[in-house]
């Protein structure tokens, strides 16, 4: 389903970059398979496309159907891995303009991923007096941004529908046994779905964390899981022909050759939030101990007219990974008898042909300018294709982290800003720290 073109790395990394890493790749693959590496307790995602909870999966589908029937709006509350995966898949499969389209499924809005007053007030205005439901996604229930948002929307539901009516419209995706949200959901009687103990947030899109909102949008989550399962089976076969091994080895070799930024590029505007999901996946997994490629993204061809200059002639610290999908349909460029724009040489040609040549020309220019290129090609965008790509990137990320000799499944650095924020907000127990921070400010 996926092809990988690494020919544009020639001259940038040693010819034996793959063979020289074969032993370490085999070790990394084994650690992922038997959960024995650093962070092994959080590698449940490796077999997830086959071993997922089938009963919960059915409940997700039933809950999605209930939300579709009962509500015109679903508010998904979460931050980081608790919302990026769902939004990525919905926008890639259904359009970035999903809420503007005529459809039978509810509008889906994402909240709790920031602290903007203006954004919150706008969202409340967009919901208006329409019937709505809430999916709160948090393992603990105490993460500041989603917890504040849930307070607000829970109160709105209870005011609109009463306490009993509100509980029929709140769906809690949280820890299976403990935590503030788990306790509240048990007490109030919300329908609950599980954030698995052995799957970290940024790897959780194929759990209830992502699947419930995705299903509400009308995506066939069975096909999504089927594509991921195909990737799982294919990538479990080790060896130098394994595409994940090839990509992980290339990334590691480029990093060791001095490339510090990986630029993910796509020529489809609906890929934007998939790139945001990818950035969290790789940034949190590799960026520690003073190591790791910095994950960035661009949308071509638009960003060729803004970032293209830097990519072409700026500091030579990056390489590109380009994701290319086959087009679903066809549009032919019309003829203009006056030929005002001088483009009649394109008359009668498919727009996809023009896009293809733009991509090929860009790759050649960037490689000539010192930017190595990896090309990932896939069939037309579908649920199974997206499921495959999700798993491919997750698996490569696990291999890459182990090649870097870091734990790809923790994120200790994320806690630093939280402690400072709690102190400055006056959270009990942080009084001494607050005085110290105020002095610095």
Whether the CB-CB separation of 327 and 352 falls below 8 Å is answered with: yes
Beta strands in 26-144 (DSSP E): 73-77, 107-111, 132-137
**Rounded Cα–Cα distance for residues 40 and 198 (Å):** 8
Active site residue 191: no
- Show Cβ contacts of residue 220 under 8 Å, excluding neighbours closer than 6 positions: 383
How buried is 66 (Cβ within 10 angstroms: 0-12 exposed, 13-18 middle, 19+ buried)?
Answer: middle
The DSSP 8-state label assigned to residue 43 in this structure reads B
Whether the CB-CB separation of 49 and 210 falls below 8 Å is answered with: no
CA distances from 284 to 154, 172, 414 (A): 31, 25, 9
Q: Percentage helix, strand, coil, to 5, in the chain?
A: 55, 15, 30
Q: How many H helices and E strands in the chain?
A: 16, 10
In degrees, rounded to 5, the angle at the alpha carbon of residue 199 between the alpha carbons of residues 87 and 56 is 75
CB-facing half-sphere around the CA of 427: CA atoms within 13 A? 11
The DSSP 8-state label assigned to residue 358 in this structure reads H
Q: Which of 54, 69, 305, 440 is catalytic?
A: 305
- Show Cβ contacts of residue 153 under 8 Å, excluding neighbours closer than 6 positions: 75, 77, 111, 134
**Rounded Cα–Cα distance for residues 154 and 114 (Å):** 17
pLDDT at 348: 95
CB-facing half-sphere around the CA of 353: CA atoms within 13 A? 9
pLDDT at 429: 72
Tokens read off for 381: 């965008």
Active site residue 366: no
The DSSP 8-state label assigned to residue 327 in this structure reads -
Number of residues assigned to the chain: 441
**Rounded Cα–Cα distance for residues 188 and 131 (Å):** 20
Q: Give the closest residue to 347 by CA, choosing from 361, 358, 329, 331.
A: 331
SS (H, E, C) 117-136: HHHHHHHHHHHCCCCEEEEE
pLDDT at 324: 98
Spell 85-110 as b/e; 16+ CB within 10 A means b.
bbbbbbbbbbebebbeeeeebbbbbb
Q: Which of 262, 284, 320, 394 is catalytic?
A: 284
Which residue positions in the chain have pLDDT lower than 70? 415, 435
How many CB atoms are located within 10 Å of the residue 242 CB? Answer: 21
The DSSP 8-state label assigned to residue 113 in this structure reads S
Task: Identify the three-state secondary structure at position 76.
Answer: strand
The DSSP 8-state label assigned to residue 106 in this structure reads P
Residue 36: φ, ψ to 5°: -100, -5
Q: Which of 260, 291, 349, 418 is catalytic?
A: 418
Active site residue 101: no
How many CB atoms are located within 10 Å of the residue 173 CB? Answer: 29
Tokens read off for 217: 């949008």
Element holding 338 (H helix, E strand): none
First and final C-alpha spacing in the chain: 53
């Amino acid at each position: 389903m996926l092809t990988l073109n690494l020919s544009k790395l020639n001259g940038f990394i040693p010819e034996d970059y793959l063979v020289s890493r074969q032993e370490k790749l085999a070790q990394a693959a084994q650690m992922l398979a038997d959960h024995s590496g650093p962070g092994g307790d959080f590698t449940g995602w490796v077999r997830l496309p086959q071993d997922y909870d089938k009963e919960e999966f059915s409940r997700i589908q039933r809950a999605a159907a209930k939300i579709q029937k009962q509500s015109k709006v679903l508010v998904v509350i979460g931050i980081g891995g608790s919302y990026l995966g769902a939004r990525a898949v919905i926008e890639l499969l259904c359009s970035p303009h999903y809420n503007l389209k005529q459809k039978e499924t509810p509008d889906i809005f994402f909240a709790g991923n920031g602290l903007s007053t203006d954004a919150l007030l706008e969202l409340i205005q967009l919901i208006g007096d329409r019937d709505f439901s809430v999916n709160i996604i948090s393992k603990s229930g105490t993460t500041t941004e989603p917890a504040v948002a849930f307070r607000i929307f829970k109160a709105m539901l209870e005011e609109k529908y009463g306490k009993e009516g509100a509980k029929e419209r709140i769906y809690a995706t949280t820890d299976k046994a403990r935590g503030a949200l788990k306790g509240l959901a048990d007490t109030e009687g919300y329908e609950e779905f599980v954030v698995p103990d052995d799957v970290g947030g940024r790897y959780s899109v194929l759990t209830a964390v992502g699947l419930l909102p995705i299903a509400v949008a009308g995506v066939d989550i069975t096909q999504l899981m089927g594509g991921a399962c195909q990737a799982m089976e294919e990538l479990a076969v080790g060896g130098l022909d394994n595409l994940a091994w090839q990509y992980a080895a290339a990334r590691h070799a480029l990093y060791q050759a001095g490339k510090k930024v990986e630029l993910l590029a796509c020529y489809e505007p609906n890929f934007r939030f998939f790139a945001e999901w990818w950035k969290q996946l790789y940034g949190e997994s590799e960026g520690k101990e003073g190591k790791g490629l910095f994950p960035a993204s661009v949308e071509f061809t638009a960003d060729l007219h803004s970032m293209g200059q830097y990519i072409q002639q700026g500091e030579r610290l990056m390489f590109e990974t380009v994701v290319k999908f086959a087009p679903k349909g066809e549009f032919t460029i019309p003829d203009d008898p006056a030929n005002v724009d001088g483009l009649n040489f394109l008359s009668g040609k498919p727009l996809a042909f023009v896009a293809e040549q733009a991509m090929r020309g860009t790759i050649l220019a960037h490689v000539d300018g010192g930017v190595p290129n990896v090309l990932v090609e896939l069939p037309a965008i579908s649920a199974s294709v997206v499921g495959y790509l999700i798993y491919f990137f997750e698996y490569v990320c696990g291999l890459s982290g182990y090649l870097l000799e870091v734990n790809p499944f923790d994120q200790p650095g994320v806690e630093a800003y939280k402690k400072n924020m709690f102190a400055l907000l006056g959270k009990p127990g942080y009084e001494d720290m607050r005085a110290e921070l105020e002095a610095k400010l």
